[in-house]
Amino acid sequence: MSATITTTVTAPSATDVLQVTPLENAPFGARITLPAYTQDPADLNEDDFQRLYSAVHQYLVVVIPDQAKLKPSSQYKLTKLFDPTCEGAYGHSKEFRHEKSVLRRDGHSTPSQPQVQILGQGRHDGHEGVPDLVLRHPTHMSFHHDPLTEDEMANGYTRFYRWHIDSALYGLAPPVATTLLGIDCPVDKNQKIRYEDTGEEITTAKAATAFASGAIAFDNLSDEDKEFALNTTVVYAPHPYIFISPARATSDALTMVSEGKELPLDELPEWEQDKIKRLPLVWTNPVTGKHHMQVHGCCIWKLETPNGTLELEEARNTVHRLMRPNISPDRIYCHDWNNGDLVIFFNRGVWHSVTGQFEEGGRRLMHQCNIASGVDPICKK
C-alpha cells in the first residue's frame, strides 16, 4: 500500500512580491511597495526587479517611499541595473562643471560614489563627509529671459525651470533611468505656476518636480505631425550647456529665446564632429513598444526633417509648437516630495523640470543618479 503524498502550493502573499499601484488623479506614475524581504530596492530578487523595471517603463515615474537611509552605493547599484550597457560613469562628462555651463552649480558629487550627486538648498556641512557643503536650488531667475518680478514671487508664483531629459547630449548616450531621492524636503507652502500664453494656473507643492510623458506627447500629435516626428532627427549643439549659456529661456522653459546670443562654436571648449549627438525625435519604449517624443528643447541646434534641415531658430520654434500642449495642467504630474521618497523615472520616456525657489535660509537635501548609456535610443517605425 503506497502512501498518499499531498503537496500544498501556497501562492505568494501580497507582501512577498513587489507591488505596483498606479497613482490616482495623475496622467501617469505609480507607487511601489517593496516586498517584505528587503527595504533596499538594490537587493530585489530577479523577479521583483523585473516587476520594477516593467513598472518604470510602463508608468514612467515610480515612487518608493521610506528610502531616506538609502546608501549612495545602493542608489548607484539600482540605477545601473536599469541598463546593462551603461559603463558606470555619471550621465554628464567633465564639462558638467565647466565654468560657463548652465549646469555648473547644480550639485556636488558624493565622495564615496561620485556618480551620485547631492542636490538641494542651503548648508549641509559634513553630509556624506563633504565639509562646507552649500547647495543651491536652481532658480529660473538666472535662466529665463523674463523672470518673475519680486512681487510675483512674494505672491507665491514660480516657473518651470527647464523642461529636459537628463543627458550630456554630447559624446555620451542619454541615461535610461534617473533615481532621485528626497532626504530632507520640507514642504512649507504651496506655489503657483501661471501659463502665460493661456492664463491657466496650477498650484503644486513647493519645489515639486514636474514630469510630462513623451508617449502622451506623441499620441496627441496630429497624424501629419506624427509622420513628421517619426522621420525627424534632432541635432544637439557641441557642448550644448555651454553653447546656450549666454542665451535665456522662454517663460515656459521649453526652449531658448533666439536672439543670437549663443556662444560662437570657436569659443566653445575643444569639440569633435563625431561626438555631436544626432538623435531621433521619437524614441521607442523597449518594453511597451510605444513611441515617445523625446527632445531637449533648450539644447537643440538643428532639426533634420523630411523637408530639409531647420536651423536654430526655426528648429526651436518647431519643437516648441510640438511640445507646448504636453505641459498643459491636465497632462503633467508634479511630484510633491515627502522625506524618503525615492523617485525612479524612465529618462528616455519623460521630460521633467525643477520648480520653485527658496527663501534665504531655506533647506533641502536630495541625492540624484543617472548613468550614461552604452547605446543611443532608437525609433522603431
Whole-angstrom distance, CA of residue 32 vs CA of residue 23:
10
Residue at shortest CB range from Fe ion = 166
- Partners of 33 in beta bridges: 19
Cell numbers found for residue 113: 560614489
Between residues 179 and 284, which has the closer beta carbon with respect to Fe ion? 179
CB of 212 to Fe ion, least distance (A): 13
CB of 43 to Fe ion, least distance (A): 26
CB of 164 to Fe ion, least distance (A): 6
Between residues 239 and 352, which has the closer beta carbon with respect to Fe ion? 352
CB of 166 to Fe ion, least distance (A): 4
CB of 151 to Fe ion, least distance (A): 29
Q: Secondary structure of 107-155 in the HEC alphabet? A: CEEECCEEEEEEEEEEECCCHHHCCCCEECCCCHHHCECCCCCHHHHHC
CB of 228 to Fe ion, least distance (A): 27
The closest alpha carbon to 206, from 184, 186, 191, belongs to 191
CB of 210 to Fe ion, least distance (A): 11
Question: Which of 113-121, 135-143, 159-167, 284-292 is the region at the interface with Fe ion (rule: CB under 5 A)?
Answer: 159-167
Between residues 95 and 166, which has the closer beta carbon with respect to Fe ion? 166
Kind of pairing between the strands at 282-284 and 332-335: unpaired
Whole-angstrom distance, CA of residue 216 vs CA of residue 242:
31
166 lies in the binding site for Fe ion (CB under 5 A):
yes
**3-state SS class at 101:** coil
The percent of the chain in helix, strand and coil, each rounded to the nearest 5, is 20, 30, 50
Question: Which of 165-173, 204-212, 250-258, 308-316 is the region at the interface with Fe ion (rule: CB under 5 A)?
Answer: 165-173
106 lies in the binding site for Fe ion (CB under 5 A):
no
Between residues 48 and 166, which has the closer beta carbon with respect to Fe ion? 166
Contacts with Fe ion by CB under 5 A: the residue count is 1
CB of 88 to Fe ion, least distance (A): 19
Question: Which of 25-33, 84-92, 160-168, 226-234 is the region at the interface with Fe ion (rule: CB under 5 A)?
Answer: 160-168
Q: How many CB atoms lie within 10 A of CB 5?
A: 5
Burial of 79 (0-12, 13-18, 19+ CB in 10 A): buried
Question: Which of 4-12, 162-170, 217-225, 239-247 is the region at the interface with Fe ion (rule: CB under 5 A)?
Answer: 162-170
Cell numbers found for residue 353: 523640470
Q: Are 159 and 193 in contact (CB under 8 A)?
A: yes
Between residues 92 and 239, which has the closer beta carbon with respect to Fe ion? 92
Between residues 166 and 341, which has the closer beta carbon with respect to Fe ion? 166
- Partners of 61 in beta bridges: 345
Between residues 221 and 343, which has the closer beta carbon with respect to Fe ion? 343
Between residues 34 and 61, which has the closer beta carbon with respect to Fe ion? 61
Amino acid letter for position 190: N
Cell numbers found for residue 290: 510605444
- Partners of 254 in beta bridges: none
| Residues that bind Fe ion in the complex, under the rule CB under 5 A | 166
